[in-house]
């Protein structure tokens, strides 16, 4: 099974993808994570992407479709893929069709997380993760049980994404509205789109997604 999680920044795509990985053994293909890894490793792709990401703009379609193609090649044929943060433009959606077809894969579901944009800025600007294991927290919603100590691995180091500030978040939302939301009709025409209320609790969103995948 191959699925796309679609929704504006902060809608909870990454959180839900991690749950699907844990519960169903699917593989999460997050272009955001891959690009951040490239920036950290200082690769040529990372060098090109860094300033664009910090501004909240979109990295070129060629770069992201290239890294998705490589990630698909590394994926065992029996593993299902969760596309998280990709495709983000019509050109990427068309590239994905080709990448999947070349590998004998089909797209089964496009799940749109429907959210209230005003709530997203608060969600995003408050979020932080454990620097060691990546567990996610939030200034107002999910603090570690013991202040300053990761619940999962005990690390005392945390980090925030450089693009999670209000100004960049507004640009990311505008990019979503202008370039990503317009790809929904492509998938709607194929009867692939299902909407989930992304403002519900994490567990409720997860069970709504499970119900869609069980169909």
Active site residues: 13, 88, 127, 161, 172
Residue whose pair of structure tokens reads 């699917």 in the numeric block: 26
- How far are the Cα atoms of 18, 86, 165 from residue 67, in angstroms, in the given order? 20, 11, 26
- Closest distance between ligand ADP and the C-beta of residue 205, in Å? 15
- Closest distance between ligand ADP and the C-beta of residue 59, in Å? 4
Q: What is the dihedral of CA 57, 80, 132, 152, to 10 degrees?
A: 120
- Contact set for ligand ADP, span 134-173 (CB under 6 A): 163, 172
Confirm if 115 and 181 have CB atoms less than 8 A apart. Answer: no
**Nearest to ligand ADP of 30, 144 (CB atom):** 30
- C-beta nearest to ligand ADP: residue: 32
Task: Look at the alpha carbons of 97, 99, 102, 107 in this order and tell me if their dihedral is positive or negative.
Answer: negative
**Nearest to ligand ADP of 85, 146 (CB atom):** 85
Confirm if 110 and 137 have CB atoms less than 8 A apart. Answer: no
Total binding residues toward ligand ADP, as defined by CB under 6 A: 18
Which range of residues in 16-24, 56-64, 69-77, 102-110 is near ligand ADP by CB under 6 A? Answer: 56-64
Which range of residues in 21-29, 80-88, 100-108, 128-136 is near ligand ADP by CB under 6 A? Answer: 80-88
SS3 117: helix
Q: Applying CB under 6 A, does 16 fall inside the site for ligand ADP?
A: no
Q: Which of 53, 113, 120, 196 binds ligand ADP (CB under 6 A)?
A: 53
How many other CB atoms are there within 10 angstroms of residue 156's CB atom?
A: 13
**Nearest to ligand ADP of 73, 154 (CB atom):** 73
Element (H, E) at 188: helix 184-188
**DSSP state for residue 196 in the 8-state scheme:** E
* Packing angle, helices 166-175 and 117-125, rounded to 10: 140
Which range of residues in 50-58, 108-116, 134-142, 207-215 is near ligand ADP by CB under 6 A? Answer: 50-58
- Closest distance between ligand ADP and the C-beta of residue 215, in Å? 26
Residues forming the site for ligand ADP (CB under 6 A) = 9-10, 31-32, 35, 52-53, 56-59, 64, 85-86, 88, 92, 163, 172
């Amino acid at each position: 099974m191959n699925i796309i999680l679609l929704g504006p920044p902060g809608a909870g795509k990454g959180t839900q993808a991690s749950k699907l990985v844990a519960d169903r053994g699917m593989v999460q293909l997050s272009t955001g994570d891959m690009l951040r890894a490239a920036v950290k490793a200082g690769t040529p792709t990372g060098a090109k992407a860094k300033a664009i990401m910090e501004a909240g703009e979109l990295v070129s379609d060629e770069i992201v479709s290239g890294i998705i193609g490589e990630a698909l090649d590394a994926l065992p044929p029996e593993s299902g893929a969760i596309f998280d943060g990709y495709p983000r433009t019509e050109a990427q959606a068309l590239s994905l069709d080709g990448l999947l077809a070349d590998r004998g894969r089909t797209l089964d579901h496009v799940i749109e997380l429907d959210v209230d944009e005003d709530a997203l800025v608060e969600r995003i600007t408050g979020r932080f993760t454990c620097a060691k294991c990546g567990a996610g927290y939030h200034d107002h919603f999910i603090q570690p049980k013991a202040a300053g100590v990761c619940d999962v691995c005990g690390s005392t180091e945390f980090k925030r994404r450089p693009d999670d500030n209000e100004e960049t978040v507004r640009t990311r939302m505008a990019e979503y509205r202008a370039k990503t939301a317009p790809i929904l009709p492509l998938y709607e025409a194929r009867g692939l789109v299902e909407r989930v209320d992304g403002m519900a609790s994490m567990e409720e969103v997860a069970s709504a997604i499970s119900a869609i995948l069980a169909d």
